Amino acid sequence: MKISREFIERIPKTDLHLHLDGSMRLKTLLELADEAGIELPGRTESELKQTVFKDKYADLGEYLKGFGYLTAVMQTPQALERVARELAEDNQAEGVRYIEVRFAPQLHQHPGMGIMDVFQAVNRGLESAKTAFNQRPEVCDGKEPAFDYGIIACAMRMFGTGFSDYFDRLLDVHCNSERKWVFSLASQELVRAAIHARDVLGIPVAGFDLAGQEKGYPAVDHAPAYALAHRHFLKKTVHAGEAFGPESIFQAITELHADRLGHALHLFDEDYIADASIKDRSRYVDNLVQYIGDRRITIEVCLTSNLQTHPELNRLIDHSFGRMMKNKLSVTICTDNRTVSATTVTQEMMRAVEAFDLDAKDLKDLVIHGFKRSFFTGTYVQKRRYVRRMIDYYETVNRRF
């Protein structure tokens, strides 16, 4: 069967690597900026695409600059709720039935909005979209699967003055402390907040993540936060191997107990290994790949995002996704940022199919990995039932085509 765009749109899908503050509708960005009196480098969607949200970026640093504008307009509960609701609706419209929305609550925390207010506002938006969708007759009748979501609390590898009111105050209080200790302290505070939001407020906080500038800011500095998450049964993912090499991935899975990996673009790049004590680089990479495969540690691949932030990647076929598939690793296709990367889950899957000549089994495996390796917040029995429902629906759509 030739895999068509229509088929991909119809099958149930997931997005497990989805940043809230990178996935706002441009129309909403313009409206919220106008309400808040924030000046943007463009007054129309077209102008914003030319000045901020480009097709190609010089590097990850330039790519991340756009988040400053997006985060700036998300400093009220109303704005957070709206952006979260619209994000869920956009996913529902293209057949995505499960999303895990990650964001850094501390970037929105200030005297007028505490961290629990942030969690609650985002959850209200997602829950309202879920409720509306699941009340549709075709869902109630069992003809189409229900929509669900989880929230991933995202810590920052590093931060400086001007990142947010919370980070400014933390740096001021601990001005005489070593920076990496302050970074670690912030991530530990976020874990505690995430656990409270989940256990006390009943918010479906599905996991914990670490994002931000990778090179120069090792994940191991945040090991205490991940140990705390581990002890409280909070599932874990880490941005690793996006702008650094295999050693970063090794830290994520050994020191931080990562259940999944964000990007892992440079998993196979021996030249990115910096540790002089690693003499046999090829063997190191082989052992790392074997470890990841044996433990079914799922990689959240974001094709378009990686192409945009790595100038050396001129062709999609050169992306390490192809080697991941050849090594039979557990992989799921994600968007990373629907706005900043101007993409959708359907588009990402279509690009993967065309560039890597995926067949029907490859595509089905990618979809099922997304559902099976999700951080679904229900019971294990409920998750098995939910995954089974998605597989059955996938096969129903497949028969139609």
Of 385, 382, 381, 370, the closest CA to residue 95 belongs to: 370
Catalogue the active-site residues.
Answer: 242
Q: 3-state DSSP call for residue 270?
A: helix
Which residues lie below 8 Å from residue 59, measured CB to CB, with a gap of 6+? 309, 310, 311
Q: At what angle do helices 115-134 and 179-199 cross, to 10 degrees?
A: 40
Tokens 């097709």 sit on residue: 55
Q: For residue 253, what are its two tokens?
A: 């899975």
CA–CA separation, 60 and 239 (whole Å): 13
Banded model confidence at residue 98, pLDDT cuts 50, 70, 90: very high
Q: CB–CB of 289/322 below 8 Å? A: no
What are the CA-CA distances from residue 177 to residues 44, 185, 214, 228, 332 (Å)? 44, 11, 21, 22, 40
Specify the pLDDT at position 300: 98
Question: What mean pLDDT is predicted for residues 81-102?
Answer: 98
Q: CB–CB of 329/301 below 8 Å? A: no
What are the CA-CA distances from residue 192 to residues 43, 101, 113, 380, 387 (Å)? 40, 19, 17, 24, 30
What separation, in Å, do the N-terminal and C-terminal C-alpha atoms of the chain show?
8
CB atoms within 10 A of CB 57: 21
Sheet strands side by side (includes 13-19): 13-19, 96-103, 148-156, 205-211, 235-240, 260-263, 298-301, 331-333
Q: 3-state DSSP call for residue 17?
A: strand
Q: pLDDT for 281-313, tens place per residue?
A: 999 999 999 999 999 999 999 999 999 988 888
CA–CA separation, 314 and 351 (whole Å): 14
Which residues lie below 8 Å from residue 146, measured CB to CB, with a gap of 6+? 97, 133, 134, 139, 389
Which residues lie below 8 Å from residue 394, measured CB to CB, with a gap of 6+? 11, 12, 364, 367, 368
Specify the pLDDT at position 347: 98
CA–CA separation, 186 and 197 (whole Å): 16
For residue 93, pLDDT beyond 80: yes
Q: pLDDT for 116-170, tens place per residue?
A: 999 999 999 999 999 999 999 999 999 999 999 999 999 999 999 999 999 999 9
Q: CB–CB of 225/247 below 8 Å? A: no
- The domains found in the chain, sorted by start residue, are 5-400 (3.20.20.140)
Q: What is the pTM of this model?
A: 0.95
- What burial class does residue 365 get, using C-beta atoms within 10 Å of its C-beta: 0-12 exposed, 13-18 middle, 19+ buried? middle
Residue type, 35: E
In DSSP terms, 98 is beta-bridged to 14, 148
Specify the pLDDT at position 312: 86
Q: pLDDT for 355-377, tens place per residue?
A: 999 999 999 999 999 999 999 99
Q: 3-state DSSP call for residue 260?
A: strand
Specify the pLDDT at position 321: 98
- Phi-psi region at 264: left, alpha or beta (left = phi > 0; alpha = psi -120 to 50): left
Specify the pLDDT at position 146: 97
Banded model confidence at residue 62, pLDDT cuts 50, 70, 90: confident
In DSSP terms, 238 is beta-bridged to 261
Q: pLDDT for 304-357, tens place per residue?
A: 999 998 888 889 999 999 999 999 999 999 999 999 899 999 999 999 999 999
For residue 95, pLDDT beyond 80: yes
CA–CA separation, 388 and 384 (whole Å): 6
**Cα 244–246–247 angle (5° rounding)?**
85
